[in-house]
Structure 1
């Protein structure tokens, strides 16, 4: 019997659903009923936004300025689910085709960084006498609302107390000025800022979020990006152009068309820069991860944040690289304990990667070799698709304890 999707008239489908169906027809992605349902929800929201835009422009002020705010705020969408379910892909489709002219698409933590910069600039302007008002939130929110009636956030995750303490007031002002929110996240609203400092002060924002956005879970049985990474792709050796090409192919599969950017993690007041990030994965070179003065807490933060970590160009390590070897051991332990995937290119097989004979690193590296071998086994890769035992993969982006709050 034909499914409801095949019986649906093509003209009834909106642009997001149509774009999704084209990818399915081209066999670029697998058909997923849950993705189709979210696409339809996004299309319905765009129709409401489009109608509101037309109505506002029909008024005298709307015709003159093109920026009239609707009398009632339009409820947005908060889409959450495990990594690799297609949340970012769908939101990007929606953003590209949205009829709203004043719109902004940004990673949530980049947005909050911009907000803090605006707050600082306003305070400096007050000191200089060029601005008035002790409370920077209203003017900052007004500036944001003037520039964008539609805000699309990728990877909504509240992990920093400075963000948590201003979100309620900031978004109250934004919603009052008619801003509509569309966001993707790995966690349900009730799990935002879990175990964070002074969390009761943050909870009013959760209620406000639920009142101003429909909460939609994008469930799915499989992480399509992780399914493309097989055991042969996890440890690539020896180094050279062929290894680089295989690493680039694995990275493209993990991104699955999503936008690559940078990220950062805040650990005990320090910032751990992630030079390449996207789709819940992070990519480093040996130099920019293991030659830096990072410790166990830093690697734990990386493991919490990303479901897959890629490392390019790992050389054979010896006595002169004992510090790097120690960091590599800690990194592998963190990823292994969290059930995360490691994809790396190396100059030698795992059992020949460390050649030092002295110190504890030589003894500890034996455990690392064993774990590296297990981490590219079919059993481990199958487990890592669903996260650690008894824990969903989305925990990678769950808020860390207070001392390991991430911002990436």
Structure 2
């Protein structure tokens, strides 16, 4: 049974009907998980020179310079041998030993451009794409789940660089797992770069993240240099407020008028996400040009909220606009959620969905080309 709402006045012409995310149950093979460990589409073209530092935040300019030098330092030859391979740190000359920082940690609140800088580092590192990997913490844990720990170590050990976005500090089990994985990769000579969220109960939007990150990765802390990136959320810097939600009829008509759009009832979509592993949320949106949602309302519980955060990340990565009716996105999460341990994730989701809502405003009034 379809969970997509009908479009008032548009009939039920099969070839004109939008698709439904709720009708999709993607299967993602392990080799795809490995092949897709590259910066997502939104960050395909970002580079250090496309990052626009806030002139009031000198730490942003400093981060660009340090990361640019770090990337340049990863261009030398490596020699095999149980962690004794040559490693280039923050200078541009090859180090004869692996001593010193093998990685960099970007510390800052949401929306200061950490992912932009992390992706720029990946692009700037002078190595073939197959020798460098980029993924979120969730994607990395999913890779371990699909391949197994030892196979993941073998798969990534030949890489020059591993970039981990949104390192999860709020799941002790997964943190220990990934910390162990990174330890093995450091021994193999892999350079590391990471951003992270804050631990539960930390209210500083990144203020305490550096200390937490270095403690949680246990013996790896000596291999990381921490770069503090201050600033406000760039997605709202000087931009208008998010558009008000549209009516159900406007959303449905836009979905029918936009080739490649999906149309779903928001509560049904939340139910469907519970039946799809978060590692498949990217595949869930394959080929979708716009996500149209009716009856948006506050999420009912924390598990549902965390799944929605992952979907918001995948939509944002892929630059898929989101058109919605119902409540505005800044009312998705309860006050209790916004004041709890996962508050940074929820604020990030609100920030990203708001940006995608702005991107979707031109869909209203769109007419399908004949």
The alpha-carbon deviation at position 286 of structure 1 amounts to: 2.9
Structure 2 partner of 1:141: 153
Aligned residues of 2:85 and 2:188 also touching (Cα < 8 A) = no
CA gap of 1:275–1:172, structure 2 versus 1, over 3 A, is: closer
Structure 1 partner of 2:219: 208
Structure 1 partner of 2:143: 114
| SS of equivalent residue, structure 1 residue 141 | helix
Which of 314, 329, 341 is the equivalent residue of 2:325? 314
Aligned residues of 2:296 and 2:324 also touching (Cα < 8 A) = no
- After TM superposition, the structure 1 = structure 2 runs for residues 55-134 of structure 1, keeping only pairs within 5 Å, are 56=78, 70=87, 71-72=97-98, 74-101=101-128, 102-119=131-148
Aligned residues of 1:76 and 1:181 also touching (Cα < 8 A) = yes
Q: TM-score, normalised by structure 2?
A: 0.52
Structure 2 Cα separation of the partners of residues 165 and 212 of structure 1: 16
The CA RMSD measured in Å over matched residues stands at: 4.9
The alpha-carbon deviation at position 212 of structure 1 amounts to: 1.1
CA gap of 1:179–1:275, structure 2 versus 1, over 3 A, is: closer
Structure 2 Cα separation of the partners of residues 154 and 234 of structure 1: 31
| SS of equivalent residue, structure 1 residue 44 | helix
Aligned residues of 2:108 and 2:229 also touching (Cα < 8 A) = yes
Which of 207, 210, 217 is the equivalent residue of 2:228? 217
- RCO (CA 8 Å, sep 6+): is it higher in 1 or 2? 2
Structure 2 Cα separation of the partners of residues 189 and 110 of structure 1: 22
What are structure 1's unaligned runs of at least 5 residues? 1-17, 120-135, 193-202, 248-264, 278-282, 316-327, 341-387, 399-408
The alpha-carbon deviation at position 240 of structure 1 amounts to: 5.4
CA gap of 1:397–1:231, structure 2 versus 1, over 3 A, is: closer
Aligned residues of 2:169 and 2:216 also touching (Cα < 8 A) = no
Structure 1 partner of 2:181: 170
What are structure 2's unaligned runs of at least 5 residues? 1-45, 88-96, 199-208, 259-271, 285-289, 349-370
| Higher Rg | 1
Which of 222, 228, 245 is the equivalent residue of 1:235? 245
| SS of equivalent residue, structure 1 residue 233 | coil
| SS of equivalent residue, structure 1 residue 286 | strand
Aligned residues of 2:132 and 2:160 also touching (Cα < 8 A) = yes
Aligned residues of 1:82 and 1:392 also touching (Cα < 8 A) = no
Q: TM-score, normalised by structure 1?
A: 0.48
Aligned residues: 251
| SS of equivalent residue, structure 1 residue 314 | strand
